[in-house]
Amino acid sequence: MLIIIGAVMIIWTGFTYTKKEKIIDAGPIQISADREKTVGWPPYLGCILLVGGIVIIATAKKSR
């Protein structure tokens, strides 16, 4: 699982989503706006997960 997540994190370094936020909420009057939020992570984090998954698999096979 770590290998798959690590590879995906190397390929896609983040994603963007839209969130609806209230700007004004004054009784019956409500004004909201769509705001884009970005979630990003460094590619080296994906490399760490990928290498960690490979190390776990390599050490698990030696133990058996």
Measured between alpha carbons, how far apart are the two ends of the chain, in Å?
A: 20
Q: What is the mean pLDDT of residues 1-30?
A: 89
pLDDT-based confidence at 40, cuts 50/70/90? very high
pLDDT-based confidence at 64, cuts 50/70/90? low
pLDDT at 61 over 80: no
pLDDT-based confidence at 28, cuts 50/70/90? confident
Q: What is the mean pLDDT of residues 46-52?
A: 93
Helix (H, G, I), strand (E, B) or coil at 35: strand
Query: How many residues can be counted in the chain?
Result: 64
